[in-house]
Structure 1
Amino acid sequence: MSAPFSSAPSVPHPRPAVEGKALREACSAFATGVTVITAATGLPGRAEGTTVNSFTSVSLDPPLVLFCLHRQSRLGPVLRQSGCFAVNFLTHRQQELAWAFSGRDSARVEEVPHRRTPEGVPVLTDALGHLVCRRYAEYDGGDHLIVLGEVIELGLPGPAESPLVFYRGAMHALPGTA
């Protein structure tokens, strides 16, 4: 049996706080996939979306995934209201779309090719694949929220394409796969 994790590990010698800019620079050396998270707003035909690269699978049983969302994101209240969201995995051809959904003045889901699930969740039709999730839990993550979702639908729409990856502050196709 393993020892339980402590919520406050003891540190033998105090260290200065790590600066956010330095942490961002260090973490940029880790390549991630690029997703757009979409959710219905509750208004007829309206939806919100935002670009996220802090996504990972968590559990196969039950099927859980998570992503991190800035506390000030316009998507936060929409997620709480709708209860469902889609994780859209972007292809290397969707870099412009990823940037369009990354800012405060985001692209409009209604202007991007998509379909709606029976729950009303928009799924981007040109994405590499998607997961539709029911909001399972939400946790404090400092200036972000950690959103856990239970996968209720998944899809890989067609022939495999090269994914869009985020590395060193820029988006790229994997070498030899574009």
Structure 2
Amino acid sequence: MTVDQYEFRQLCGRFATGVTVVTTLDDAGQPAGMTANSFASVSLDPPLVSVAVDKAASMYAAITAARSFTVNILEAHQEALSRRFAAGLPDRFEGVGWHRGSDGQLVLDGVLAHLSCEKWQEFDAGDHTIVIGRVRFGTSAEHGRPLLYYRGGYADPDAF
């Protein structure tokens, strides 16, 4: 018996995740970003994280060519930002506040936390590539609530 794509999505949708926007610079030095809830911590020593990138995504070329990237962990009130970076907009950064972190990486304004990563490794994984990053620097807000994704939609952390 094999699980089909619909059933697989339904099963995985029962796992609540945080929501991130992964940012980097493309080959032309322009900002690139995508929404990802496939983010996970991998190792404490060295500090490693992973993000899975769809090979058909417009961000795929930028993230696989980049030597570094930033994982921006979104606040509960940043659903619109998540939707913007999930859409196929040509300029996802238009009207979006961002700045360069102390290490030069792109950081979205007002996020709950950000992790600045140097690409460590990549692994082929079906229709995705798993990108492993070594965390070099990060910051987090003193207070805040994460944006969650559950059962195919955004969820209020207070509902759990």
The answer (yes or no) to whether the contact 1:100–1:106 under 8 Å persists in 2 is: no
User: Scaled by the length of structure 2, what TM-score is found?
Assistant: 0.92
Which position in structure 2 is the counterpart of 1:161?
144
Which position in structure 1 is the counterpart of 2:156?
173
The answer (yes or no) to whether the contact 1:115–1:124 under 8 Å persists in 2 is: yes
Q: 1:37 aligns with which of 19, 22, 33?
A: 22
Which has more radius of gyration? 1
Structure 1 runs (4+) greater than 3 angstroms displaced: 117-120
Alignment RMSD (CA, Å): 1.8
Residue 109 of structure 1: how far off its partner (Å): 2.4
Does the C-alpha gap of structure 1 residues 26 and 106 become closer, same or farther in structure 2, counting only changes over 3 Å? farther
- C-alpha separation in 2, matches of 1:120 and 1:131: 12
Residue 42 of structure 1: how far off its partner (Å): 3.9
Residue 173 of structure 1: how far off its partner (Å): 2.2
- C-alpha separation in 2, matches of 1:151 and 1:140: 21
Q: Which ranges in structure 2 are unaligned for 5 or more consecutive residues? A: none
Structure 1 residues 82-93: aligned runs within 5 Å: 82-93=66-77
> SS in structure 2 opposite 1:92?
coil
Residue 159 of structure 1: how far off its partner (Å): 3.1
Give 1:70's aligned amino acid.
D
User: Scaled by the length of structure 1, what TM-score is found?
Assistant: 0.83
Q: How many residues align?
A: 160
- C-alpha separation in 2, matches of 1:128 and 1:107: 23
Structure 1 residues 95-110: aligned runs within 5 Å: 95-105=79-89, 108-110=92-94
> SS in structure 2 opposite 1:73?
coil
Which position in structure 2 is the counterpart of 1:13?
none
Q: 2:116 aligns with which of 122, 128, 132?
A: 132
- C-alpha separation in 2, matches of 1:176 and 1:29: 14
